Amino acid sequence: MSKSFYFLCCAMVFLIHGISLAQDTAPRWISGKLTGTGSEPLPFLGVNAFPHLETTRAVDLDTYPSSDKTHRLVLTEIGGQIWSFIDDPATSHRDLMLDFTGITEESGNQRLYSMAFGPAFPKVPWIYVSLNTRIEGKGLNRIVRFTVDQFDPPRAVAESRVLLLEWASAGHDGCDLKFGPDGYLYASTGDGESPGDPDNIGQRTDNLLGSILRIDVRNPETDRPYQVPEDNPFVNFANVPPEVWAYGLRNPWRMNFHPRSGELFVGDNGDENWEMVRQVTAGSNHGWSAYEGSFPFRLTNALSGPTPELTTPVWEHPHTEMRSVIGGLFYRGERFPAWQGRYLYGCYFTKKLWALKWDEMSHQASEATRIADLGHAVVSFAEGHDRELLIVTHDGPIYRLAPAPQIAPQPIPATLSATGLFSSVESLKPAEGVIPYNINAEPWADGAQVIRHFALPPEVRIKARSGENEHKSWQFPEGSAFARTIQREIAEGSGEFVRIETQVMHIDREEWRFLTYRWRADQSDADLVPENGETQPCQVGDLTLSHRFPSRGECSACHTQRSFFALGLSTEQLNRPLNPTAPSVSQIDHFVSMGLFQKGQEPRPESFPPMANPLDERAPLDERARTYLHVNCAHCHRETGLGGRAQFELLHWLSLTDTHAVNARPLVGLPGIGEEGRVIAPGHPELSEVVRRMGIRGPNQMPLIGSDQVDHDGIALIERWISQLPDTLEAATKPAKEP
């Protein structure tokens, strides 16, 4: 062996040992005070009721009314299939009951919403289905009837289709079906309108929109497959469809009858500020859009129609705690006797379940309690054959409730300094093991500057994802924490900043938790914001700005399981120089050298070029625009994301065609451009819904959360990009998703 080769081997051993030593002695966060903290534990957790059963974009669930001992449930999926399966946790098989993709009259872009068995089933073997379909680009809601010819398992005959009702709807479809204790079919309809109800559909009674309908399907007439009950409240009113039983609703998505009193309870989706639980009675007017719940909405509108008196909700949730109410049912199971008689309902957006205390004697609600956090988008509630609650989620399984471990948590740190993330909060100096980082493409933050940190507890490491998920956010271990501090320059070019808020995420007991801290005026520390968030004035130099400090629910709306929670912590976002003064040192290589990754689970920056900075004029226009839409919009506008109702995805790694946004009609467009509007209209930014939503602030803005100011530079970028897109691009068709 030559001397030079010997020294080379020694050097390699030293380097390898040095790297190993660096990995073994990597800095870790030992000063953390977040683990084990939290509010009082929720009473329930969600357990997969059928862990071996496959579901795909489910929307509704019903018990199969069979007299035999084979208890079945019937599941409706929005894409066009209805299935039945045995009501048993061990079941893994399901049987197709009806497939709409083979029905000529309903072929195309249909969406199933609800299914109901007729009151005399199976003696009269009819089922009823509500759906939305598009004919020549226009939305239609329909209620159709089918005949079941096979009962174990049930199978409906596609050729037996009978159309009962249809009406135009451009969004906010409603479309729940329930048979009441009187044997009549009740159907909910939304206002079918753009946000804000620009045509005041809610108070018009010359159509079926924004209403609860009531029809008798047991006694068809010769010229139509139903009758109108004689005691419907508007039978003898001119210019009011006799099917209308109540009106003034915005989007009554789910409804159920009280099991004893027979009263109808509805979850009604709000617009700007409120989500409503309503008790609906014959002839009642619920005020939309003169009112949103019990609060005036459009002062230029007046209550009108045959009953111009406002019926207020039994309960209202502000949008700080709920964004899309899903009506539920009254619990009458035996497993949780303390909760019997409570109205159990949820939120599609925040994925949380609530229980409303209802007094049958006084007809008053007295208390709404959050009872569970499912982590999946709630779309419907049902009872099993044992009367226990089943919760249908659109992007996950069917859940049942189980008691949550009642471990008393430690108090949430009341100040940022008490979290242990910073050794000096006043100077924002990170504690040992808390690591600063930067990303390539910053989301719009109202012109503010963002400072980022993450922390790893001892003895754990990060995994970079592999396979088809390799480009997505890294996988962080239990106990990790993340801080995002927002600060504003006191005066342009001054170089002096005032900190506004620090958002903290941490993983504790397999759950991602979110906290917001508001900086004090003297910048000495930041104080914990209430769970529901708050909007407060902030002083920035000579300016006083109104600032929204997000609620924990608002944080969880973007940081979702589907987006892998840690937005921005991905290889393509972090593949950049460690700092401007050392451009040759890679930030990712630096993290690897610190031993932050599990062996064999390191990221591969060579496989993922850095994500383009939307502000970098040197980068290609297409990359800048697609990146802008990705970081500002794609956390919601992705498969099963919270913007999934819009039926397009803005993930930058998809081809433009596969986003299903080009030349696609907006499901609910802003008023002003009519049928010409498209999500992205090549060559025409003025007709593109993406641009229009970016240019407003309010309930219909995009992004929905986290911004109070319009990004004019961002709009200019997207307008410039859309202007140069060739108008030869074709729209891609795609099955609709969320309700």
Domain final position from 369, 403, 437: 403
* 307 and 423 both lie in a single domain: no
The domain that holds 132 is classified in CATH as 2.120.10.30
Residue 21: what pLDDT?
33
* 534 and 581 both lie in a single domain: yes
* 358 and 218 both lie in a single domain: yes
Whether 365 is covered by a domain: the verdict is yes
Whether 37 is covered by a domain: the verdict is no
What H or E segment, with its residue span, contains residue 267? strand 264-268
The model's pLDDT over 183-203, given as tens digits with 9 standing for 90+, comes to 999 999 999 877 778 778 899
The model's pLDDT over 215-244, given as tens digits with 9 standing for 90+, comes to 999 999 999 999 999 999 999 999 999 999
Whether 360 is covered by a domain: the verdict is yes
* 193 and 301 both lie in a single domain: yes
Residue 177: what pLDDT?
99
What H or E segment, with its residue span, contains residue 630? helix 621-633
Question: In total, how many domains does the chain have?
Answer: 3
Whether 228 is covered by a domain: the verdict is yes
Cis peptide bond N-terminal to 411, omega within 30: no
Measure the CA–CA gap between 479 and 455, rounded to whole angstroms.
9
* 569 and 670 both lie in a single domain: no
* 446 and 390 both lie in a single domain: no
* 422 and 399 both lie in a single domain: no
For residue 639, CA distances in Å to 350, 351, 464, 503, 734 come to 17, 16, 22, 26, 11
Whether 115 is covered by a domain: the verdict is yes
Measure the CA–CA gap between 356 and 344, rounded to whole angstroms.
6
Global confidence as pTM: 0.75
Residue 400: what pLDDT?
98
Measure the CA–CA gap between 420 and 435, rounded to whole angstroms.
13
* 133 and 193 both lie in a single domain: yes
* 596 and 662 both lie in a single domain: no
Q: Where are the beta strands (DSSP E) in 490-636?
A: 497-508, 511-519, 526-528, 534-540, 543-549
Phi then psi for residue 627, to 5 deg, are -65, -40
* 242 and 302 both lie in a single domain: yes
Whether 44 is covered by a domain: the verdict is no
For residue 26, CA distances in Å to 457, 578, 603 come to 11, 17, 17
Which stretches in the chain have pLDDT values below 70? 1-26, 67, 104-109, 467-471, 560-564, 640-646, 730-739
- Structural domain of 567: 3-30+412-608
Measure the CA–CA gap between 635 and 177, rounded to whole angstroms.
32
Measure the CA–CA gap between 496 and 26, rounded to whole angstroms.
34
Beta-carbon contacts of residue 668 (< 8 Å; ≥ 6 apart): 170, 171, 172, 193, 194, 195
Cβ of 412: how many Cβ atoms within 10 Å? Answer: 17
Measure the CA–CA gap between 437 and 451, rounded to whole angstroms.
8
Measure the CA–CA gap between 237 and 692, rounded to whole angstroms.
41
- The CA radius of gyration of the chain, in Å to the nearest whole number, is 28
Residue 2: what pLDDT?
42
The model's pLDDT over 457-503, given as tens digits with 9 standing for 90+, comes to 988 889 887 766 666 788 888 999 999 999 999 998 899 999 999 99
* 574 and 432 both lie in a single domain: yes
Whether 372 is covered by a domain: the verdict is yes
Whether 729 is covered by a domain: the verdict is no
Helix, strand, coil proportions of the chain in percent (round to 5)?
Answer: 15, 35, 50
* 179 and 320 both lie in a single domain: yes
